[in-house]
């Protein structure tokens, strides 16, 4: 079955540390890739997306992600995290012509002040 | 401001009750989705709909049904609620019937359902 894997379930960092969250998917065709963020008590919000073109995409709040097709990966990065980045992060993939997104299990990021 | 509105933020129901979760969007979106969100499992797709009176099963449809009588409204029905359906339920919508929309989904704020 097609799936999306986020191997880091809970990440704890100090402020100013660098962040990388992994996301892998199992589908050999065309994909559209997303990262969503959910701050405590809030809606899911779109952080960034990849559809085509430059595999390095930049999103809001200093986040970026790189699509590596050969590795079926779309890892999220931020050079220097802040306490306000504490949230749960979800990778999501639309596979082929599907109109629905398949989500990963999420990564809870805790940033210590 | 575009919105997906879920009728209840918190809901407590008894085992065996029939439960209706309502979702309304004001963006004239064609596509609507119901997910449940559980710790460590992420978001799992229950049902979705591409058009009025149309529905398709997602990954975990057992114990649920849906109704879409109007374009803007997508209801999730638990025919006989059970404790393992205690969860956060998220509704989402997206536009278009062709390529996946670049803006992705718009999510509602969720309904936290507790079945006792």
What is the mean predicted confidence (pLDDT) over B93-97?
Answer: 86
Note the pLDDT of residue B2.
63
Note the pLDDT of residue B56.
95
Q: Are B81 and B16 in contact (CB under 8 A)?
A: yes
Number of H helices, E strands in chain A: 0, 12
- Cα separation, A12 vs A30, in Å, equals 33
Walking along chain A (113 residues) 10 residues at a time, the average pLDDT comes out as 90 97 94 95 91 94 96 97 97 91 96 95
Q: Are A23 and A74 in contact (CB under 8 A)?
A: yes
Q: Say whether residue B109 is in contact with chain A using an 8 A CB cutoff.
A: yes
Note the pLDDT of residue B1.
65
Report DSSP state, residue A97: T
Per-chain mean pLDDT for chain B? 94
**Helix or strand or coil: residue A87?**
strand
Q: pLDDT digits over B23-42, tens only?
A: 999 999 999 999 999 999 99
How far apart are the CA of A5 and the nearest CA of chain B, in angstroms?
10
Q: Say whether residue A59 is in contact with chain B using an 8 A CB cutoff.
A: no
- Cα separation, B90 vs B86, in Å, equals 13
* Residue of A74 and B7 predicted with greater confidence: A74
Note the pLDDT of residue B14.
98
CA distances from A41 to A35, B9, B58 (A): 18, 11, 26
Can you list the alpha helix ranges (DSSP code H) found in B1-116? none
Note the pLDDT of residue B82.
98
How far apart are the CA of B70 and the nearest CA of chain A, in angstroms?
19
CA contacts within 13 A on the Cβ side of A110: 5
């Amino acid at each position: 079955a097609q799936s999306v894997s986020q191997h880091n379930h809970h990440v704890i960092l100090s402020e100013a540390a660098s962040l990388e969250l992994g996301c892998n998917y199992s589908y050999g065709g065309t994909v559209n890739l997303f990262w969503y963020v959910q701050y405590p008590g809030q809606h899911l919000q779109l952080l960034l997306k990849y559809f085509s073109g430059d595999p390095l995409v930049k999103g809001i709040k200093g986040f970026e992600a790189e699509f590596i097709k050969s590795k079926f990966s779309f890892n999220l990065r931020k050079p220097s995290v802040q306490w306000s980045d504490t949230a749960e992060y979800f990778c999501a993939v639309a596979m082929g012509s599907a109109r629905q997104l398949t989500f990963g299990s999420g990564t809870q990021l805790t940033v210590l002040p | 401001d575009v919105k997906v509105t879920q009728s209840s933020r918190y809901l407590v129901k008894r085992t065996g009750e029939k439960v209706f979760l309502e979702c309304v969007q004001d963006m004239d979106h064609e596509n609507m989705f119901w997910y449940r969100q559980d710790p460590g499992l992420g978001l799992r797709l229950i049902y979705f709909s591409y058009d009025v009176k149309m529905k398709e099963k997602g990954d975990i449809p057992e114990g649920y049904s849906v109704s879409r009588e109007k374009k803007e409204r997508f209801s999730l029905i638990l025919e006989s609620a059970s404790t393992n359906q205690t969860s956060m339920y998220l509704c989402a919508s997206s536009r278009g019937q062709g390529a996946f929309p670049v803006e992705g989904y718009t999510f509602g704020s969720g309904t936290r359902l507790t079945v006792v």
